[in-house]
């Protein structure tokens, strides 16, 4: 049913890292008990903590996005991707020097068919650190199939996609949390060989991904803190659809479109890295849900679908009236941090130019 992929949007610059309040409190409490030398040392540490934690060789890097390459020969699919450093404006005026696949975060949407053999090549354009690819859609010995590709090198790996679904992919290089939270995540859809039983009812389909952002390249914040932004992106499944990065306004500024009466299908995945998503579309009930996107996991009549970190689903619902239907994670502390998008439903399915509001 699906075809085609697009590309992402990027901008330039760097980011700052804020001082942990715990450190500030500690320096405050001990202020009168320490020698002037130690006091100076504390100030120096605090000053350093305010500088961006960009790895030295990444400082001047901002590689343009490289289009995903996919070629098919029967059931052999050749996929070429890059690991690269690219700035992403995750919030207005805040650029994050992301570690990415192909210059997008989440990375480009990959679509293959159940039973395909994937021949995957990763070109690591990062001059400083190794990267790798862990496709949740395949069976392989991770130390071989998901092995590191060293800086400025290429690695090729082969495996079969035997299960249909909406799977996460991510860099699996240690520390994995740094690589995922810095932007190295995405989605691979494996289309079921016999389709979904509701294929003939669906008029519109989209792909949506949820991810979190933390303080820049701050493994402590990624490990012990809470996300600074929780966001949605949409990836082009069909020609002409938007293809965005995970930013706080990505699916607000350009809402998804549908026509009154349409049955809408969304391929959704929560790439985390840490948080669960409680995916809900306001003003509808999901008629059909395929947990993890496998037709065998068919459920009906769900209000909210829980997506564990890395979990996916295919959800389908019918939009019965004109209007703006927000989709959220119903963990509203995360909706407050950005995880809201809009589906605009009009009489003819075209954008009537009206404001969606609610940013």
Name the binding residues for Cu cation: 131, 136, 170-171, 179, 184, 330
- Closest CB 173 distance from Cu ion, rounded Å: 4
301, containing H or E segment: strand 298-302
* Cα–Cα dist 344/322, whole Å: 8
Q: How far is the CB of 132 from Cu ion (least distance, A)?
A: 6
Residue 294 touching Cu ion (CB under 5 A): no
Beta carbon nearer to Cu ion, 131 or 235: 131
Tokens describing residue 23: 């450190």
Q: How far apart are the first and last CA of the chain?
A: 33
Cβ closest to Cu ion, residue 161 vs residue 184: 184
Name the nearest CA neighbour of 175 among 222, 121, 138. 222
215 near Cu ion (CB under 5 A): no
Contacting range for Cu ion; rule: CB under 5 A; set: 29-37, 61-69, 181-189, 327-335: 181-189
118 binds Cu ion per the rule CB under 5 A = no
Which of 223, 297 has the CB closer to Cu ion? 223
Residue with tokens 């989209």: 206
The token pair at 356 is 């969606």
By C-alpha distance, which of 16, 19, 17 is closest to 46? 19
Smaller CB distance to Cu ion: residue 234 or 310?
310
Please select the residue that binds Cu ion; options are 100, 173, 233, 245, rule is CB under 5 A.
Answer: 173
Q: Per rule CB under 5 A, is residue 337 in the interface with Cu ion?
A: no
In sequence order, the β-bridge partners of residue 158 are 119
Q: Measured from the CB of residue 113, what is the shortest distance to Cu ion in angstroms?
A: 27
171 contacts 86 by C-beta, under 8 angstroms: no
Residue 358 to residue 341: CA distance in whole angstroms? 10
Residue closer to Cu ion, measured from CB, 85 or 356: 85
Which pairing describes strands 286-291 and 312-318: parallel, antiparallel, or unpaired?
antiparallel
Q: Least distance from C-beta 177 to Cu ion, angstroms?
A: 11
Q: Which of residues 122-151 bind Cu ion (CB under 5 A)?
A: 131
Q: How far apart are CA 284 and CA 319, in angstroms?
A: 7
Q: How far apart are CA 340 and CA 243, in angstroms?
A: 16
Please count the residues of this chain forming the interface with Cu ion, following the rule CB under 5 A: 5
In whole angstroms, the minimum distance from the beta carbon of 184 to Cu ion comes to: 5
Please tell me whether residue 236 binds Cu ion under the rule CB under 5 A.
no
Confirm or reject binding of residue 210 to Cu ion (CB under 5 A).
Answer: no
> Taking CB positions, which residue lies at the least distance from Cu ion?
171
For the bound state, the minimum distance from the C-beta of residue 175 to Cu ion, rounded and expressed in Å, comes to: 10
The token pair at 122 is 């990763």
Full DSSP string of 178-195:
HHHHTT-EEEEEEE-TT-
Compute the C-alpha angle 322/323/328, nearest 5°: 135
Please report whether residue 263 would count as binding Cu ion according to CB under 5 A.
no
Which residues does residue 302 pair with via DSSP β-bridges, in sequence order?
286
Name which of 192 and 246 has its Cβ closer to Cu ion: 246
| Smallest distance from Cu ion to CB 172, Å | 8
Query: Which residues are annotated binding-site positions?
Result: 131, 136, 170-171, 179, 184, 330
Q: Is 184 in the site for Cu ion (CB under 5 A)?
A: yes
Residues that bind Cu ion (CB under 5 A): 131, 171, 173, 179, 184
């Amino acid at each position: 049913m699906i075809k085609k992929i697009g590309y992402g949007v990027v901008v330039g610059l760097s980011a700052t890292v804020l001082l942990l309040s715990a450190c500030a409190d500690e320096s405050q409490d001990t202020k009168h008990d320490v020698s002037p030398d130690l006091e100076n040392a504390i100030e120096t540490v605090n000053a350093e903590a305010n500088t961006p934690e960009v790895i030295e060789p990444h400082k001047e890097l901002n590689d343009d996005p490289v289009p995903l390459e996919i070629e098919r020969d029967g059931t052999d699919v050749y996929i070429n991707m890059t690991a690269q450093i690219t700035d992403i404006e995750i919030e207005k005026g805040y650029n994050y020097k992301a570690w990415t696949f192909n210059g997008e975060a989440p990375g480009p949407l990959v679509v293959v068919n159940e039973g395909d053999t994937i021949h995957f090549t990763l070109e690591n354009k990062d001059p400083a650190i190794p990267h790798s690819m862990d496709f949740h859609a395949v069976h392989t010995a991770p130390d071989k199939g998901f092995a590191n590709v060293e800086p400025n090198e290429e690695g090729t790996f082969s495996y079969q996609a035997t299960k249909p679904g909406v799977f996460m992919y991510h860099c699996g290089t240690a520390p994995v949390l740094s690589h995922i939270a810095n932007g190295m995540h995405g989605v691979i859809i494996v289309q079921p060989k016999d389709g979904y039983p509701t294929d003939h009812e669906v008029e519109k389909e989209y792909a949506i991904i949820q991810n979190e952002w933390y303080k820049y390249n701050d493994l402590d914040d990624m490990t012990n803190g809470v996300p600074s932004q929780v966001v949605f992106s949409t990836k082009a499944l069909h020609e002409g659809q938007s293809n965005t990065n995970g930013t706080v306004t990505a699916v607000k500024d350009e809402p998804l479109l549908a026509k009154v009466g349409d049955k809408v299908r969304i391929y959704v995945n929560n790439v985390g890295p840490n948080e669960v998503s409680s995916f809900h579309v306001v003003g509808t009930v999901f008629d059909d849900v395929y947990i993890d996107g496998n037709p065998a996991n068919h459920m009906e009549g769900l209000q909210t679908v829980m997506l564990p970190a890395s979990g996916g689903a295919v959800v389908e619902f019918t939009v019965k009236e004109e209007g703006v239907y927000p989709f959220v994670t119903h963990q509203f502390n995360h909706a407050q941090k950005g995880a809201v998008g809009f589906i605009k439903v009009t009489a003819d399915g075209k954008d009537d130019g009206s404001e969606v509001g609610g940013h």
